[in-house]
Structures are given as structure tokens and as C-alpha cells.
A and B are shown apart, each in its own frame.
Chain A
Amino acid sequence: MGDVPKANAPTLKAARLDVEDISLRFGGVKAIDGVSFSVEPGSITALIGPNGAGKTSCFNAISGFYKPNSGRVKLDGRDITEVPARDRAALGLARTFQNIALFRGMTVLDNIKLGRHVHLKSGLFSSLLYFGAAQREEMQLRAEVEREVIDFLELDHIRNVPVAILPYGLQKKVELARALAMRPRVLMLDEPVAGMNREETEDMARAILDVRDEWGVTVLLVEHDMGMVMDISDHVAVLNFGRLIAAGAPAEVRANPEVITAYLGSTGDPRRAETEAA
């Protein structure tokens, strides 16, 4: 796929993301406990860990859906801990959800176009007053989205289909497309291949690599599919019981005894962890 020139992907400036010592409590339960890690600009970084390790909580703290009890989240050095979720979108943080969060009842194209609304110049209320200008912007938006996102992710054939009737794998891809339409600088994917078969997983993995290579965005993902994580990530951070237990290149993390214990629940035979991870 790499040699075929893709439809015009915009070149975006990849941003750096720093998570500094964040903690998050729900009542007496510590979901995240002093976690710090960095996502280098232009890298694909994976956040992994057993169920209930705090991956999604961490994700929600970064995207602004939860406010951490302490610690900072920084985008390119700028502290965004206090910025509400909707404003992080305009700063270049785009995300997908573990359980698909598409606008059911709308078509694929409408869903994707909604991703771009954050960048439209005419505001919601001024677009009411300057109808002509807003309409022109709308047309331009449609053309841009088709060129950049729909062609890029090969969604042409379903653009006018209501998302609700699409198979699961395609819905996940439409969600990725909507996030891309936001022209993100950091793309956050919450379990992008959960529940997918091998073919769909490979397709999604390739799309993520293409997005990083051709759009130049930073990718942070939470994922359970170890094969996929180890294949495409540059950097892996491992959480267990709300704490960061390891971070580094995929090969290092895979060999880390603490990670093996976390995944197997006891100090088992490392070769078994190896099989599990592959």
C-alpha cells in the first residue's frame, strides 16, 4: 500500500503530549495513581495493561472528559489540564471511543463533516446572519473532507449510507475518519481494533500507520490486541492497578518481568507471556 500515492493528505504539525503525575479517584477508588509518561511528536505510542488498569480513565483525563485530582496534562508544553473537552478539540486533540460513539441516524459524510466544524470560521450564530458565506464555507468543507479523509480511508462507496447499518469494522473506521476530519495534532484511539477479525485489524493497523506517516500526526492508542500493539508502536507504556509499571520500546516492555507478572497474575514462565503477547 505504501507505494501507491494516497489522496492529498494535509501535512499537520505533530504535537508532543506530556502526562505529568496525574491521579484520579472515584470515591475511595484510585483509578490512576501518579502516572507520568510522554508521547513524542510523530510517534505511535500505546497504552496497555490488564482490564481495569486505568487505561481508559487515563485517556479520559487526557481528552478532558475527567478532571484529574492532581497532576498536569501538557500539549506541546502548554498546560491544558483546565481546558474543557470541547475546547481541546480545537487545540488539536481528537479521539475515538471504546464503544463506538457515532451520530447514529446520520450518514457517513455528515458524521465526518461534524469533525471539521471546530475549524469553521463562521461561528454557529454568525452563520445564521451571514448565510451566503456560511454556505460557501460548507461547500468548501465538503470538498476538503472528501479529498482528505474519505478518499484516504477508502470510504467513497459508503459516504451516503446511514452509519447505523454499517458493519462494526467500518463503523470504527468512520469514527477514525471523523477524528481525522478534525485535523488533529494528537490522535487518540481507544481500542481501535477491539472486536475486529484479523482482516479488519490489519486494515485498521495499516490505516493508523498511513495516517501517522502521511499526515504526520502523533498517535496515542489504548489496545488489547498485543500483536497489533507490538507491530505498529514505537513506544509502549504499561499500566497496572492505576500505576505505570513499565515504559519503553515494544521489545523492552515485552521482556519486562513486571509486565509479564501483571499479565499472567503470577511469576509464571516468561515464555508463556511471550506466547500471550504474540
Chain B
Amino acid sequence: MDKWANLEFIDLVETSLAGFGTGALMALTGVAFVIIYKATKVINLAIGEMLMVGAFVFYGFSAGLALPIWASIPATLIVCALVGGIIERTMIRPLMKDNPVSVFMVTIGLTSILIGLVELIWSAEPRRLPEFLPQQPLILWDAFVPSKTAYSFLISAVVVAVLITVFAFWRGGIALRATATDRAAASSVGINVAGVFSFSWMLAAVVAGLAGILVGSVGGISSAMGLFGLSVFVVVIVGGLDSITGALVAGLFVGWLEAMVGRLFGGEFKLLATFSILLIVLVVRPYGLFGTHEIERL
């Protein structure tokens, strides 16, 4: 225990803040996952790779084509929306009538396809994104917060807050839920089910792409960065597969936990802690902290 002897309080605060920074990015990616699940009941294992595609497309625009940042970001998000739409149209919708397991398997294949495409275009070499966030670090009280962490936290928080508000009050939010519950009933009340499918995949791809830009700007990009998705699955299972609020809370928590465990016990214990939490939640509350508990009446 002597490695904890010289642990200072300010150190813990800094670690926590850094953890919340990563957590916000997990939350943002988790929200992308939740949007797809909410509308289509598809478990999208490729969410981490969709994030990676966003990061590389941004790299292509900002470094490859040397476009200014204000043009690169919207261009990236548009490309992401198109990629999401194409994935939905060509790989998901044809399987709409099949069972969820086959769609799930397709998303596993999708991870390899996306990694392959990115490596074909940009090679497997890790790269750095151009610096675009202000460099000035943030001093909160006495704690030092790297500027990238602070900005990615802020941007994620704003985007997640907007999405929570929109889904709570917008009529389309309820149409999304209706489609997920019963497609035949949804189209019988006039909901455009195919449109809801396209929309949710496009929106999720945009959110994941934005997360990719932020994750990449903090830690650089590589074709393996989709592994970030692994922690995101824990986040969405803990928070509840269909809850945006759940993704936010669980994202911040898991990010914080990983940072603290990494600081106190060493990096190799991070995933142990994360997956222990996953196990506990699955046993105690299998539908997640904020997920819908389906009531079955037999």
C-alpha cells in the first residue's frame, strides 16, 4: 500500500476530472448506440468502428485535403450521415424481417469491413489529427485539466443535453419508440418505418463521428481505435440499452472509474473494474439503471 502513501488530494481531483473527460466521450458514443437500439432494436457492435470512420474522414478533410477546421467538421458529419444511411439501406434494412441475431451478426461483419476500408485508404499506421482545440489548459481551483479533455467534455455535454431534450419533447422520439416496439402497428398508424430506420442510423453515425473527432484529437487515431467501443458497450448495458440519460450517467461513471482504478492500481486493472461493474449490473438490474423494464404479463 506504500504506493498510495504520497497520493495527494489534488491528484485524485485531477484524475477524476480526466476520467470525466473520457467518460463524456463514452457517453456520447453510448448515445449513438442507444439511438439505433431505441428505434430499431439492433445491437450495433460496430459503433466503435463508426467512431473510427468519423475520425479518419476528419483526418482526410483536415490533414489530407487541408481544409480549414470550420469546413472539415461539417463535411465529416455529412459523410458520416451518408455512411450511416448506406449501411442501413444495404446491410440492415434487407434483414429487417429476419431475427435480431442475424442483424447482430451483420454488425460484427461490419466492424471488419469498416476497419478494412479505412486501412485500404489510409493504411494501418496511427496518425495524429491537426490541433484545432485551444491549447490553453484549464485550471479548476488548483487542479490542472488538459484543454482537450475540457473541450471534449464540454462539447459532448452540450450535444448529449440537446439530444436528451429533443427526444423527451419531440414527437419523433415517440415515433422512434413505437417503431422499435412493433413495426406493423407503427406503420398501421402511419409511421414511416423505413424512414425511422434510415434516420436513426444516420443520426447515430453523425454522433459517433463527432465522438471520433474528439477521441482522435485527444489520443490520436488508428484503425484499432474502435476498441474504444468495448467500454461503450459496458456503458450502455449499465445505463440501459434504450436510455440516453442512462448512457450519460453510466458513461461519466465508467470513465471516472477507469481513471481512478488506473491511477490507484495501474492501467491493467481498468478493464477488470469496468467489467466487474458490468457483471454486477447484469445480475442485479439486467435492463440497466435507466432502461425500460419490460413487464411481461403471462
Residue ranges of A at the interface with B (Cβ–Cβ < 8 Å): 63, 65, 84-87, 89-90, 94-95, 97, 101-106, 110, 114-115, 117-118, 120, 122, 124-125, 127-128, 131, 134-135, 138, 162, 164-166, 178, 182
- Contact (A86, B187) CB under 8 Å given A103-B177, A124-B171, A165-B297: yes
B178 at the interface (CB under 8 A from A): yes
Q: Look across to chain B and name the residue whose beta carbon is closest to the beta carbon of A60.
A: B184
Contacts of A182 in B (CB 8 A): 189-190
A164 CA to B292 CA, complexed, in Å? 12
Shortest C-beta distance, A57 to chain B (Å), equals 14
- Contact (A86, B172) CB under 8 Å given A103-B178, A105-B292, A105-B294: no
Residue ranges of B at the interface with A (Cβ–Cβ < 8 Å): 166, 169-172, 174-175, 177-178, 181-182, 184-193, 292, 294-297
Q: Assess whether A103 is in contact with B182, with CB atoms less than 8 Å apart.
A: yes
Contacts of A87 in B (CB 8 A): 190
Which of A106, A114, A135, A138 makes the CB contact (< 8 A) with B189?
A114
Shortest C-beta distance, A141 to chain B (Å), equals 9
A128 CA to B163 CA, complexed, in Å? 12
Q: Assess whether B188 is in contact with A101, with CB atoms less than 8 Å apart.
A: yes
Q: Assess whether A90 is in contact with B185, with CB atoms less than 8 Å apart.
A: no
A125 CA to B198 CA, complexed, in Å? 14
Q: Assess whether A134 is in contact with B177, with CB atoms less than 8 Å apart.
A: no
Q: A103-B186, A114-B191, A124-B172 are in contact. List 17 more A-B contacts (CB 8 A).
A: A89-B187, A89-B188, A89-B189, A90-B190, A97-B184, A101-B188, A103-B181, A103-B185, A104-B181, A105-B295, A114-B174, A114-B175, A114-B189, A128-B170, A164-B295, A165-B297, A178-B189
Q: Look across to chain A and name the residue whose beta carbon is closest to the beta carbon of B171.
A: A127
Which of A63, A85, A106, A128 makes the CB contact (< 8 A) with B172?
A128
Shortest C-beta distance, B36 to chain A (Å), equals 18
Contacts of A84 in B (CB 8 A): 187
Question: How many residue-residue contacts, CB under 8 A, span A and B?
Answer: 92
Shortest C-beta distance, B197 to chain A (Å), equals 13
Q: Assess whether A65 is in contact with B172, with CB atoms less than 8 Å apart.
A: no
The 7 lowest CB-CB distance pairs between A and B, nearest first, are A89-B190, A118-B190, A101-B185, A124-B172, A164-B295, A103-B181, A86-B187
A165 CA to B293 CA, complexed, in Å? 12
A90 CA to B190 CA, complexed, in Å? 7
Q: Assess whether A86 is in contact with B181, with CB atoms less than 8 Å apart.
A: no
Q: Assess whether A117 is in contact with B190, with CB atoms less than 8 Å apart.
A: yes
Which of B166, B174, B178, B297 makes the CB contact (< 8 A) with A128?
B166
Shortest C-beta distance, B179 to chain A (Å), equals 9
Q: Look across to chain A and name the residue whose beta carbon is closest to the beta carbon of B179.
A: A103
Q: Assess whether A138 is in contact with B294, with CB atoms less than 8 Å apart.
A: no
Q: Look across to chain B and name the residue whose beta carbon is closest to the beta carbon of A181.
A: B189
Q: Look across to chain B and name the residue whose beta carbon is closest to the beta carbon of A178.
A: B189
Shortest C-beta distance, B211 to chain A (Å), equals 22
Q: Assess whether A86 is in contact with B192, with CB atoms less than 8 Å apart.
A: yes
Contacts of A63 in B (CB 8 A): 188
Contacts of B166 in A (CB 8 A): 128
Q: Look across to chain B and name the residue whose beta carbon is closest to the beta carbon of A134.
A: B171
Q: Assess whether B171 is in contact with A162, with CB atoms less than 8 Å apart.
A: no
Contacts of A135 in B (CB 8 A): 169
Q: Assess whether A85 is in contact with B188, with CB atoms less than 8 Å apart.
A: yes
Q: Assess whether B174 is in contact with A110, with CB atoms less than 8 Å apart.
A: yes
Q: Assess whether A164 is in contact with B169, with CB atoms less than 8 Å apart.
A: no
- Contact (A165, B187) CB under 8 Å given A106-B181, A128-B166, A131-B169: no
Q: Look across to chain B and name the residue whose beta carbon is closest to the beta carbon of A127.
A: B171
Residue in B166, B193, B295, B297 with the greatest tally of chain A CB atoms within 10 Å: B297
Shortest C-beta distance, A91 to chain B (Å), equals 10
Shortest C-beta distance, A82 to chain B (Å), equals 16
Shortest C-beta distance, A85 to chain B (Å), equals 5
Residue in A84, A95, A105, A110 with the greatest tally of chain B CB atoms within 10 Å: A105
Q: Assess whether A165 is in contact with B295, with CB atoms less than 8 Å apart.
A: yes
Q: Look across to chain B and name the residue whose beta carbon is closest to the beta carbon of A116.
A: B189
What are 28 A-to-B residue pairs whose CB atoms are below 8 Å? A65-B184, A84-B187, A85-B187, A86-B192, A87-B190, A89-B187, A101-B185, A102-B185, A103-B177, A103-B181, A103-B185, A104-B181, A105-B177, A106-B177, A106-B181, A114-B189, A114-B191, A117-B189, A117-B190, A124-B171, A125-B172, A128-B172, A131-B169, A134-B170, A135-B169, A162-B295, A166-B297, A178-B189
- Contact (A124, B178) CB under 8 Å given A89-B189, A95-B188, A165-B295: no
Q: Assess whether B184 is in contact with A101, with CB atoms less than 8 Å apart.
A: yes
A97 CA to B187 CA, complexed, in Å? 12
Q: Assess whether B172 is in contact with A164, with CB atoms less than 8 Å apart.
A: no
A125 CA to B172 CA, complexed, in Å? 8
A94 CA to B189 CA, complexed, in Å? 7
